[in-house]
Every structure is written in structure tokens, then in C-alpha cells.
């Protein structure tokens, strides 16, 4: 937040008459407030976005400016895929700031204590690692069950591995998730749930709170979490003494599923960007150009623990954890945006809600896909 505020102040100094009022919110509070503002026809001049179906629905409602021509001024300075999540039908509605992927962050020391030789390559191997960790008295996985979005990562990845990327994209077009492969993805997740791998009280746990998912891993009280590229920073900032795991922390991609149609090298995740509200002044777009300057992109990469999308700023990635993510992402064979952003808002929310119920043992794999399909058809 302080770096964004500093950039805003510097922009103000160079643009007399421009004044920023910055509001920082955690994910769910942000989504709720933004939805309220959009429904009232009063979007912020500049707001964070993950792109995808959520942004495109906001654009269809006339709440977001199309900035295709303006972004063209700095498009060539970005990595090739940077604007994909913000562009539909050849029209761009936002500019990317960072990128990355979701994977398993793990405690090497706890793995060694439990006799887990290394990162498992298959789902069967992953379940075996969970069993070994439990047998050694180690909590295998930390999960922020209260916030729901971290839980959807599991179903999404399993759907990618079992059904494949094309199936996920086609389901959005057909508005139908009731297929054997998606049911099978949920069944694989119930295999994990049956092992009771999560920390005590996970259903009421937040993500970045003092006793939440990130702190549980950062304090060495759980062996793994499935999270994005920002995880090490949040682990550190949420842990006792703000130390985190240091060189005990490792990273591996989501395992392959035997017999699945998806590739084990396909990645899931996304990054952040900014969109501009319908009534925003021209200076709002100018600010997006300002933060896309290499020196500003380097500042964010160094301080916020993110992978920049500005090509010239890649030299700012010195953190070994981020380099691990970058290496894994560089060898990926396909990419899927977070499903609660890729799909229309109502569908994404239902997916989060239904997967949360499955994780709580209150919904079956069949009920999950039926609820998502109903939301898609009603939307």
C-alpha cells in the first residue's frame, strides 16, 4: 500500500489539480464494496481487477471505460499475454500490473520429518504425502475456509487435470458443468477431504489473519498451502516476528491426475491490474501508463512480492521464491485464470460457495456441479 501511495503522490506532484483518495481493502471486502458501487452506477475512477468475466460484465453494463487505444501506447512494453485477461472481442478494459500462478508452498523441514522425499508429481502421491504427514503428527495443509476463494483453487486445478482446459472454457459457453469429468474432479477432492488434512478450525479461518492460513504455514504449524505467488510475503508478514520460513520454504506445481485429460504442466492463477471507471478523467488512464513505466514496475516487484508484466522490469525479480514461480510458469503448457474471475460473477460466487460446502462435507461432487450449472443458466 505504501508504494502505491508513494506513486500516487509522485503522480500528483507532476499533475497539478489531481488528487488521489486511496482505499485499501482485503479481497472479499473489496469485491463486496465494488459490487455495491457498480450496482449504484458509481464505479471508482481507478480500481483493482483480476480481469475475466467479472470485468467484462462490468464493461457490458457500461461501468468501465474501453482503453484499447490508450493501452496501445505501452502494450509493446508488456509480456505477450499480459492483457489477455483484460481483453474481450478485441477490446481492452484494463491494464495488467503483475502476473503469477497458484501452486503448493511447502515446509521442507516438515516434509523431511514425515519422510516425504520431495514434491509429489501425481495426485495419488500427494494423498500419500498427506497420510505420511498426518502419521508424523504434522498438519498437512492450512486452508482459509472462511474466505472460500482459497478452497476453489483445489476444485479448479482438479478440473483442469481431470477434464482439461478446453472443457472448462466450453462449460462456460454451454452453461453446463454437469459432466462426468467435473464430477470426477469433485470426487478426487473428496478423497483429500476424507483424510482430514486441514488445520483445526479451518472452516472459520481467514487467510491473512493472525491465526489464518498464511500464518499457520509461516509459523511452521502446517506443511503446505495452495496459494499464489504472493504467499511467501503474506506468510512472513502474518507470522510471529514477521520472519516466515526463510530457506525452509519450497514450491511445486499442482500434481497430475492419472488418466486425466489435462496436462500436469498447465498452470492456474492470474495477476492484478487496474480498470478505469466510466466517468473517470483522462488522468486516470494516464496513471495506468505511469505505473507501467519500468522503474515503477520494478518498485512493485521488489516490495510487493509479485512478478511484473513489464518486460524491462524482470530484472527486479531477485527473490528466490518468485524465481521458482517464474521458472514453473515459464515451462507451463497452458494457463487458466482463476475461475471465480474467469466466469461471470454469479457463476464464480456459486463455484466458491459450492466448493466450500464440499470441503465442509455438506455437498457432494454431483451437487457442486449442479449448483454451478444452475447459476450459469440463470445468469
Domain positions in the chain are 2-100+270-333, 103-267+344-378
User: How far apart are alpha carbons 102 and 104 in whole angstroms?
Assistant: 7
Can you point out the beta strands (E) in the chain?
Answer: 46-49, 87-88, 91-92, 94-96, 98-99, 103-107, 224-227, 249-252, 266-269, 273-276, 307-308, 334-337
Q: How many CA atoms lie within 13 A of 99 on its CB side?
A: 28
User: How far apart are alpha carbons 78 and 93 in whole angstroms?
Assistant: 16
CATH topology of domain 2-100+270-333: D-Maltodextrin-Binding Protein; domain 2 (3.40.190)
Residues 6+ apart with CB under 8 A from 76: none
pLDDT for position 340? 94
With a cut of 50, list the residues of the chain below it in pLDDT.
none
pLDDT digits (tens, 9 = 90+) for 220-249: 999 999 999 999 999 999 999 999 999 999
- For 232, other C-beta atoms within 10 Å of its C-beta total 25
pTM of the entire predicted model: 0.89
Buried b / exposed e over 162-172, threshold 16 CB at 10 Å, is: bbbbebbeebb
Nearest to 138 by CA among 212, 197, 226, 213: 197
CATH architecture of 103-267+344-378: 3-Layer(aba) Sandwich (3.40)
pLDDT for position 376? 97
**Domains 2-100+270-333 and 103-267+344-378 equal at CATH topology level:** yes
Amino acid at each position: 500500500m505504501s508504494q502505491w501511495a508513494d506513486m500516487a503522490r509522485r503522480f500528483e506532484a507532476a499533475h497539478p489539480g489531481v488528487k488521489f483518495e486511496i482505499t485499501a481493502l482485503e479481497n472479499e471486502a473489496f469485491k463486496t464494496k465494488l459490487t455495491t458501487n457498480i450496482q449504484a452506477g458509481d464505479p471508482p475512477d481507478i480500481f483493482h481487477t483480476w480481469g475475466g468475466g467479472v470485468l467484462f460484465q462490468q464493461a457490458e453494463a457500461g461501468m468501465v471505460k474501453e482503453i484499447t487505444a490508450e493501452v496501445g501506447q505501452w502494450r509493446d512494453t508488456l509480456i505477450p499475454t499480459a492483457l489477455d485477461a483484460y481483453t474481450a472481442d478485441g477490446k481492452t478494459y484494463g491494464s495488467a500490473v503483475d502476473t503469477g500462478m497458484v501452486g503448493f508452498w511447502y515446509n521442507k523441514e516438515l516434509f523431511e520429518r514425515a519422510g516425504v522425499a520431495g514434491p509429489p508429481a501425481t495426485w495419488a502421491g500427494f494423498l500419500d504425502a498427506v497420510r505420511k504427514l498426518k502419521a508424523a503428527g504434522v498438519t498437512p495443509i492450512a486452508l482459509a475456509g472462511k474466505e472460500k476463494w482459497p478452497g476453489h483453487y483445489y476444485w479448479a486445478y482438479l478440473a483442469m487435470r481431470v477434464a482439461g482446459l478446453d472443457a472448462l472454457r466450453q462449460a462456460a459457453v454451454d452453461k453446463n458443468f454437469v459432466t462426468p469429468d467435473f464430477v470426477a474432479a469433485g470426487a478426487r477432492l473428496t478423497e483429500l477431504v476424507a483424510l482430514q488434512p486441514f488445520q483445526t478450525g479451518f472452516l472459520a479461518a481467514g487467510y491473512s489473519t493472525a491465526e489464518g492460513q498464511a500464518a499457520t504455514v509461516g509459523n511452521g504449524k502446517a506443511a503446505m498451502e495452495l496459494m499464489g505467488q504472493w504467499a511467501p510475503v503474506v506468510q512472513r508478514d502474518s507470522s510471529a516476528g514477521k520472519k516466515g520460513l526463510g530457506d525452509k520454504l519450497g514450491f511445486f506445481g499442482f500434481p497430475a491426475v492419472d488418466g486425466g485429460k489435462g496436462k500436469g504442466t498447465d498452470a492456474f492463477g492470474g495477476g492484478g491490474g487496474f480498470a478505469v471507471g466510466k466517468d473517470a478523467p483522462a488522468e486516470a488512464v494516464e496513471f495506468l501508463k505511469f505505473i507501467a513505466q519500468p522503474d515503477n514496475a520494478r518498485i512493485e516487484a521488489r516490495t510487493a512480492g509479485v512478478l511484473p508484466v513489464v518486460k524491462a522490469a524482470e530484472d527486479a525479480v531477485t527473490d528466490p521464491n518468485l524465481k521458482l514461480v517464474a521458472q514453473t510458469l515459464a515451462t507451463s503448457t497452458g494457463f487458466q485464470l482463476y475461475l471465480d474471475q474467469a466466469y461471470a460473477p454469479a457463476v464464480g460466487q456459486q463455484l466458491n460457495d459450492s466448493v466450500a460446502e464440499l470441503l465442509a462435507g455438506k455437498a457432494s461432487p454431483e451437487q457442486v456441479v449442479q449448483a454451478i450449472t444452475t447459476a450459469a443458466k440463470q445468469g
